[in-house]
Chain A
């Protein structure tokens, strides 16, 4: 089922949690809402669920397959909602938790006892917890609890699955496992899914499309590849992973920063003025010798060789700190040492002129 959010605003007392936000989610898509805390992503999710009501300004609407559900109560929207802290019913067994949504249906819609049992059993199989049916939530690990919460949400065959930082309370290893599992699950059941997270890695890994949010607004909507490689704003590039920032100037399509000058094709017609130049750590190359005019001299401050990339912290001659990620093979081949003077050259830069953005 496709979802459309149109011009929705939400105010809590004097705080504007959402400012005129519009978003379209295609049927069967897995979309992530990514942003720092306080960016409005959870509020947007809760408005889609019906757990919050948008401001009553006659502009905002929420459409499920074209049907306006703004006035519909959460229990009539048929959404599966998964909370960060699981929100399982502690006094019920795993089985009863999953069966809850089916048992509270009005009598004429309620499946038979046997049908409910079959449904729960198949869901337990799906979340790989068949032998835990009679356990209570307190006897499960965090990852298991969240899987139960997911099964409970899926039991009502929701039109849309909404996940509010579902893996936020789990440790890194479990989180990674569940993430992959969730993506596989989505490919099986194909229910439209919206996942809220502040973990950019998670967002980029599971999503079909990523919605980057900041300060109650949507900054960019795009595939993981688009938001990562073609960030629409300074915020997006800054939020999605590490980045080096240089203050510079833009003059007739060329960015000048430190001692470098580079052509910026997209900003050929931008007016002259201040600009910020962003370079990802993995877009920097290191050499012992100066290559042409496109390199900066810097001293190696610190080396962290743990990982697929060696992470180097350099100090530019004019005091700029520069982060460089070097493939491990390259790092060993160069045999770099702390304190050495090297030359750094950018392969790719992102330039943002404050008053002229692409």
Chain B
């Protein structure tokens, strides 16, 4: 049978790779996720709605999405800076710094959580200086933001590095010769070129932060309605054998996260098509 999706190519294997992709995605992603929806289906809509809109749960959404968004935004700025520095300049210790960036990837999240808590608690290295200023870092929403920023950093740096490496130095020189100052060159030439990569890094860091559990539970203090993240709430419900309640919240998380990631992808697609559009 001839398919209109299949085009002649010297590289064979469209059928087998697509088949494998579908099978793999089904086994690894779709089946477990559908179990979530099936489990939730045990609830009536009213029960479901009650579960997912109770004040404690809503507060956890706000904290999780809010802190993830802030964390990803901070990383987008400072990750950019770090990636820029690592790519553009040669200095002793650069390789070491480059390796350090990956550390949040590699550390067990619980370890980073404990480490961050130790540093930012009232008597910690940094926390003790923040305390007199009236800033409570650990056991507060700020602590959640700190933890989510920490774990998201490598995503932004690693996606931006290749994009910055590919920047044409001559395009910047051209901009300068045309009279643009560094700021104008950055805004009009550099940023639009690396923007898709920045968006990807942002999306990855954001997605990672949404699902984070290990590092946050230590530093947040888990005060219901104040510093409790959604993943923790799900665990708590599971521990109380409230499976339906846990899955109901999980479904909301899932749908919202998917919607956000999809829209970021669409934005990126729109952006990359925009520059190729034929008049």
A:105-142 near B, CB below 8 Å: 105, 134-136, 138-139
Which of B173, B178, B189, B278 has its CB near the most chain A CB atoms (within 10 A)?
Answer: B178
Are the CB atoms of A104 and B188 closer together than 8 Å?
Answer: yes
Is A100 an interface residue when CB atoms closer than 8 A count as contact?
yes
Are the CB atoms of A74 and B275 closer together than 8 Å?
Answer: no
Going nearest first, the 6 A-B pairs with the smallest beta carbon separation are A134-B279, A101-B178, A87-B170, A104-B180, A81-B177, A87-B174
Q: Which residues of B contact A74 (CB under 8 A)?
A: 173, 176-177
Are the CB atoms of B276 and A138 closer together than 8 Å?
Answer: yes
Are the CB atoms of A83 and B176 closer together than 8 Å?
Answer: no
A-side interface size class: 20 to 34
Is B26 an interface residue when CB atoms closer than 8 A count as contact?
no
Query: Taking beta carbons and an 8 Å cutoff, which residues of A are in contact with B?
Result: 49-51, 73-81, 83, 85, 87-91, 93, 100-101, 104-105, 134-136, 138-139, 149, 152-153, 155-156
Is B50 an interface residue when CB atoms closer than 8 A count as contact?
no
Are the CB atoms of B175 and A100 closer together than 8 Å?
Answer: yes
How far does the alpha carbon of A135 sit from the alpha carbon of B189 in the complex, in Å?
Answer: 18
Q: Which residues of B contact A100 (CB under 8 A)?
A: 175, 178, 180, 188
Can you name 13 A-B pairs with beta carbons within 8 Å? A75-B178, A75-B181, A81-B173, A83-B170, A85-B168, A87-B174, A88-B174, A90-B275, A101-B178, A101-B179, A134-B279, A136-B277, A138-B276
Given A75-B179, A104-B184, A136-B276: A91 in contact with B192 (beta carbons within 8 A): yes
The minimal Cβ–Cβ distance linking B221 to chain A, given in whole angstroms, is 46
Q: Which residues of A contact B193 (CB under 8 A)?
A: 90-91
How far does the alpha carbon of A104 sit from the alpha carbon of B179 in the complex, in Å?
Answer: 7
Are the CB atoms of B188 and A80 closer together than 8 Å?
Answer: no
How far does the alpha carbon of A173 sit from the alpha carbon of B155 in the complex, in Å?
Answer: 48
Q: Which residues of A contact B278 (CB under 8 A)?
A: 135, 139
In addition to A104-B175, A104-B179, A134-B279, 14 A-B residue pairs with Cβ atoms within 8 Å of each other are A73-B176, A75-B177, A81-B173, A87-B171, A88-B171, A88-B174, A91-B275, A93-B279, A101-B178, A104-B181, A104-B184, A105-B179, A135-B278, A136-B276
How far does the alpha carbon of A77 sit from the alpha carbon of B177 in the complex, in Å?
Answer: 8
How far does the alpha carbon of A93 sit from the alpha carbon of B275 in the complex, in Å?
Answer: 8
Q: Which residues of B contact A77 (CB under 8 A)?
A: 177
Q: Which residues of A contact B276 (CB under 8 A)?
A: 136, 138
Q: Which residues of B contact A93 (CB under 8 A)?
A: 279
How far does the alpha carbon of A104 sit from the alpha carbon of B185 in the complex, in Å?
Answer: 9
The minimal Cβ–Cβ distance linking B173 to chain A, given in whole angstroms, is 6
> A85 touches which one: B170, B176, B180, B277 (CB < 8 A)?
B170
How far does the alpha carbon of A153 sit from the alpha carbon of B176 in the complex, in Å?
Answer: 11
Digitize B142-186: 1 where CB-to-A-CB distance is under 8 Å, 0 elsewhere: 000000000000000000000000001011011111111100100
Q: Which residues of B contact A89 (CB under 8 A)?
A: 171, 174-175, 188-189
Are the CB atoms of A49 and B178 closer together than 8 Å?
Answer: no
How far does the alpha carbon of A134 sit from the alpha carbon of B173 in the complex, in Å?
Answer: 24
The minimal Cβ–Cβ distance linking B180 to chain A, given in whole angstroms, is 4
Q: Which residues of A contact B174 (CB under 8 A)?
A: 81, 83, 87-89, 149, 152
Are the CB atoms of B177 and A51 closer together than 8 Å?
Answer: yes
B:74-93 near A, CB below 8 Å: none
The minimal Cβ–Cβ distance linking B90 to chain A, given in whole angstroms, is 13
Are the CB atoms of A156 and B173 closer together than 8 Å?
Answer: no
